[in-house]
């Protein structure tokens, strides 16, 4: 039983589901309903040809405690109904945490895909979700060597750790448009002539002072260079609540997956606080200015792809000097992560 709930999990599940079927395994997708808008959920199921979830719990939004509680109850019922041999959880969202906890309480083994990533500190809700999901999992699928090393350092049983590569890079290789140019027409921008920006992490959106600082910085960039700013519904709501209006920036709906990849591939630079988008951009050859002070994808820093924006500084200047780093091709498993995971799961029966 694979647990999904939020946008990046649909991308990861798309490649994993195909590999599980190819390995002769039967999979039930259970959707928590954490994301429910067509732009964040339905469009991903269509574009990635994901099978319909066997169960959609429809938990929707809420406080972390309320949302996670509803997920726990729902996933427990789903497990009692479907009797999975194994529960697979993906990434670091509240859906990941609830899936791992509900399963382990029923003594169902848990496999965590994207295990061992650490940004450091508990300032982001995702870090707590990662730590707990890893502790509860008996199979730990690490996307990078550093993630695997983190798990060893934290005392996980080495036999439970498998360095398989990154399923999001598998997905990118499978779904990235061969010709990204047609995707740019809608935004009226030219290859390498714009910045692609996204902003949704709670530590940025839920602090009004920080949010307005970030928006003002993006607006200043947009004065001289087009910025394609694709906005998560939470961010849109917080912008309205802050009473902020742009002078130069145009606010777009969240991009669907293939549009996001096309924008990441062709932008002059990507400015984002997303874990997935920062990596996709770098893998596609576009430098990234990170709108956060730390990242769980540290190899992007080591290899010079990720440039930090000092928040009291000039974002336009940070974007102007952002440049491609050293090649990343050896880092993420060469597009075979899902296949490796499926092969290991097939031996667990």
Which residues are catalytic, by number?
200
Tell me which of 2, 17, 32, 34 binds ligand UD1, using CB under 6 A. 34
Q: Assess 35 for contact with ligand UD1 (CB under 6 A).
A: yes
Tell me which of 1, 2, 4, 7 binds ligand UD1, using CB under 6 A. 7
Q: Assess 162 for contact with ligand UD1 (CB under 6 A).
A: no
Q: Assess 294 for contact with ligand UD1 (CB under 6 A).
A: no
Q: What are the b/e assignments for 8-18, b being 16+ CB within 10 Å? A: bbbbbbbbbbb
Give the side-chain half-sphere CA count within 13 A for 111.
Answer: 21
Q: Which is nearer to ligand UD1, 34 or 295 (CB)?
A: 34
Measure CA 202 to chain center: 14
- At closest approach, how far in Å is the CB of 231 from ligand UD1? 11
CA distances for 321 relative to 125, 270, 328, angstroms: 31, 12, 20
Q: Assess 94 for contact with ligand UD1 (CB under 6 A).
A: yes
- At closest approach, how far in Å is the CB of 11 from ligand UD1? 10
Q: Assess 106 for contact with ligand UD1 (CB under 6 A).
A: no
Q: Assess 125 for contact with ligand UD1 (CB under 6 A).
A: yes
Decide: 268 and 92 in contact? Cβ < 8 Å: no
Q: Assess 93 for contact with ligand UD1 (CB under 6 A).
A: yes
In the chain, % helix, strand, coil (3-state, to 5) comes to: 50, 15, 40
Phi, psi of 104 (to 5 degrees): -65, -30
Q: Which is nearer to ligand UD1, 135 or 234 (CB)?
A: 234
Q: Assess 207 for contact with ligand UD1 (CB under 6 A).
A: no
Tell me which of 1, 2, 3, 8 binds ligand UD1, using CB under 6 A. 8
Tell me which of 25, 36, 203, 308 binds ligand UD1, using CB under 6 A. 36
- Tokens of residue 271, six digits: 């400015």
Distance from C-alpha of 201 to C-alpha of 292, rounded to nearest angstrom: 9
At 341 the three-state DSSP class reads helix
At 48 the three-state DSSP class reads coil
| Residue 90, C-beta contacts closer than 8 angstroms, at least 6 positions apart | 2, 3, 4, 8, 9, 12, 13, 16, 96, 112, 113, 114, 167
Kindly determine how many residues on this chain lie close enough to bind ligand UD1 according to the rule CB under 6 A.
Answer: 19
- At closest approach, how far in Å is the CB of 215 from ligand UD1? 17
DSSP H or E stretch at residue 56: strand 55-56
Tell me which of 123, 233, 304, 335 binds ligand UD1, using CB under 6 A. 233
Among 134-142, 147-155, 156-164, 231-239, the segment contacting ligand UD1 (CB under 6 A) = 231-239
**Terminus-to-terminus CA distance in the chain, angstroms?**
14
* Binding-residue pattern over the window 235 to 254 for ligand UD1, x denoting contact by CB under 6 A: --x-----------------
Q: Provide the binding-site residues for ligand UD1, judged by CB under 6 A.
A: 6-8, 34-37, 40-41, 61, 92-94, 125-126, 200, 233-234, 237
């Amino acid at each position: 039983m694979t647990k999904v709930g939020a946008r990046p999990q649909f991308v990861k599940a798309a490649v994993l589901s195909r590999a599980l079927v190819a390995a002769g395994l039967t999979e039930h997708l259970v959707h928590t309903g954490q994301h429910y808008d067509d732009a964040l959920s339905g469009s991903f199921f269509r574009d990635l040809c994901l099978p319909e979830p066997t169960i959609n719990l429809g938990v929707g939004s809420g406080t972390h405690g309320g949302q996670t509680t509803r997920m726990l109850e729902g996933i427990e019922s789903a497990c009692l109904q479907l009797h999975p041999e194994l529960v697979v959880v993906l990434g670091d969202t509240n859906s990941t945490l609830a899936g791992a906890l509900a399963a382990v309480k029923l003594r169902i083994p848990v496999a965590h895909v994207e295990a061992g990533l650490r940004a450091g500190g508990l300032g982001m809700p995702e870090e707590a979700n990662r730590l707990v999901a890893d502790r509860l999992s008996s199979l730990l699928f690490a996307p990078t060597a550093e993630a695997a090393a983190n798990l060893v350092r934290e005392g996980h049983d080495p036999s439970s750790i498998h360095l398989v590569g990154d399923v999001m890079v598998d997905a990118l290789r499978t779904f990235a448009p061969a010709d990204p140019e047609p995707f740019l027409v809608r935004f009226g921008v030219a290859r390498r002539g714009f910045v692609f920006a996204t902003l949704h992490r709670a530590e940025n959106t839920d602090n009004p002072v920080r949010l307005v600082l970030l928006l003002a910085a993006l607006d200043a960039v947009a004065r001289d260079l087009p910025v394609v700013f694709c906005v998560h519904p939470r961010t849109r709501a917080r912008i309205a609540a802050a009473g902020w209006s742009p002078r130069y920036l145009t606010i777009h709906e969240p991009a669907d997956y293939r549009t996001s990849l096309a924008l990441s591939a062709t932008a002059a630079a990507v400015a984002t606080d997303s874990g997935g988008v920062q990596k996709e951009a770098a893998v596609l050859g576009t430098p990234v200015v990170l709108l956060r002070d730390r990242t769980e994808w540290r190899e992007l820093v080591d290899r010079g792809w990720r440039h930090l924006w000092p928040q009291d500084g000039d974002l336009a200047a940070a974007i102007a000097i952002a440049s491609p780093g050293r090649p990343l091709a050896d880092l993420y498993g060469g597009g075979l992560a899902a296949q490796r995971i499926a092969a290991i799961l097939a031996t667990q029966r």
